């Protein structure tokens, strides 16, 4: 297993800076997701690791080998890119054995390995099929297996589930997650879908405008976002202005004790999540703006006395949405135990 280290990587295209001073380590066997909005530099980061782009500044190491100047085909990296299509004039099995054949792996050995991998993702019965006769999800799995067949030191996935329906994404997420854990290959996974990133990754790197805002476990970036950008990008958040006096935080409509957080003074932003509010006749008065029944949960948007709007999730068992109209007054309480303060 291989550790990947980026040390101060900057990539400029002419006057355009795609990524700036990116430093990170992907530990041996770890799955690191890179998430961020469109154009923030996710693909450029991955393409630089693959060797398709030469960094303008900085060095890349695989373990203690400096690979910055090593050609892409000599990096032993498995790639599953959105636009990296399967070979059309080959069967599924031929697609998967192509890489090992180039590496000089004997025929029987490469066939056995390919069949084993196809079986792991449940498509060994498709070995003799033509890729064009497969569904999108089946093709994605072949793409993944083809990348893994060369026994790469590092696996790079760029939006590998684009265009698949939600149900299939969920299933593949489980399957691919299990496969990566079983094989233990060091993986970088690029996606703009933060749910996918959180579900698949050991750690998540949040990118914005070419730089890293935060790297941490899914729990850390959700529960302790480093700043407003991360709080907004990871999960749904309600950002509320407040005044801090030590650990006492005055939100205007209520005062909370921000326990466990480093005390700050002055103007701060409080990050609350939709589940932190409960519709239970508590002390916070709000007026209903909208309700959405989405099966299992009712999402509500309400307005607080200071005119800030917040989202909250309520169980349909607690509230009958058909009873609530925009403009209705409700009373909430805020569970401050998960609430986080950012500057």
Q: Tell me, rounded to whole angstroms, the distance of Cα 101 from its chain centroid.
A: 33
Q: Is 265 in the site for ligand ATP (CB under 6 A)?
A: no
CB of 57 to ligand ATP, least distance (A): 15
Stretch that binds ligand ATP, among 31-39, 66-74, 89-97, 124-132 (CB under 6 A): 31-39
Q: Does 48 bind ligand ATP (CB under 6 A)?
A: no
Binding to ligand ATP, residues 135-194 (CB under 6 A): 192
Q: Does 40 bind ligand ATP (CB under 6 A)?
A: yes
Instruction: By CB under 6 A, tell whether 43 contacts ligand ATP.
Output: yes
- Would you give the binding string for ligand ATP spanning residues 189-228, x where CB under 6 A is met? ---x------------------------------------
Cβ closest to ligand ATP, residue 52 vs residue 87: 52
For ligand ATP, give the closer residue by CB, 129 or 192: 192
Among 13-21, 64-72, 103-111, 169-177, which window interacts with ligand ATP (CB under 6 A)?
13-21
Q: How far is the CB of 192 from ligand ATP (least distance, A)?
A: 5
Q: How far is the CB of 93 from ligand ATP (least distance, A)?
A: 31
Q: Which of 44, 95, 97, 254 binds ligand ATP (CB under 6 A)?
A: 44
Specify the residue for token string 């999402």.
Answer: 299
Give 206 or 339: the residue with its C-beta nearer to ligand ATP.
206
Query: In the complex, which residues of this chain contact ligand ATP (CB under 6 A)?
Result: 13, 16, 18, 36, 38-44, 192
């Amino acid at each position: 297993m291989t550790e990947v280290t980026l040390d101060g990587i900057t990539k400029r295209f002419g006057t355009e800076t795609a990524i700036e001073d990116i430093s990170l380590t992907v530990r041996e066997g770890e799955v690191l997701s890179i998430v961020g909005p469109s154009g923030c530099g996710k693909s450029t980061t991955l393409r630089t690791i693959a060797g398709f782009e030469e960094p303008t500044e900085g060095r890349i190491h695989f373990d203690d080998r400096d690979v910055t100047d090593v050609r892409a085909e000599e990096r032993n990296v498995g790639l599953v890119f959105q636009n990296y299509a399967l070979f059309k004039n080959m069967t599924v099995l031929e697609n998967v054995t192509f890489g090992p054949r180039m590496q000089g792996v004997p025929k029987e050995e490469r066939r056995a390995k390919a069949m084993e991998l196809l079986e792991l993702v449940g498509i060994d019965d498709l070995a003799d099929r033509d890729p064009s006769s497969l569904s999108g999800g089946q093709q994605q799995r072949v793409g993944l297996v083809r990348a893994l067949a060369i026994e790469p030191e590092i696996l790079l996935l760029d939006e590998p589930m684009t265009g698949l329906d939600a149900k299939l994404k969920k299933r593949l997420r489980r399957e691919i997650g299990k496969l990566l854990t079983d094989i233990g290959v060091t993986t970088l996974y690029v996606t703009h879908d933060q749910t996918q990133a959180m579900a698949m990754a050991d750690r998540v790197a949040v990118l914005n405008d070419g730089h890293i805002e935060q790297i941490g476990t899914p729990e850390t970036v959700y529960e302790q976002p480093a700043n407003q950008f991360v709080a907004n990008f990871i999960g749904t958040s309600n950002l509320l202005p407040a005044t801090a006096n030590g650990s006492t935080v005055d939100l205007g409509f209520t005062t909370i004790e921000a326990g466990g957080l480093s005390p700050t003074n002055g103007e701060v932003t409080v990050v609350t999540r939709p589940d932190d509010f409960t519709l239970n006749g508590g002390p916070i008065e709000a007026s209903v703006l909208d309700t959405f029944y989405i099966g299992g949960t009712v999402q509500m948007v309400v307005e607080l006395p200071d005119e800030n709007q917040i989202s909250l999730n309520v169980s349909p068992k607690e509230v009958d949405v058909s009873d609530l109209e925009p403009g209705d007054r409700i009373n909430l309480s805020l569970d401050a135990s998960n609430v986080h303060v950012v500057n």
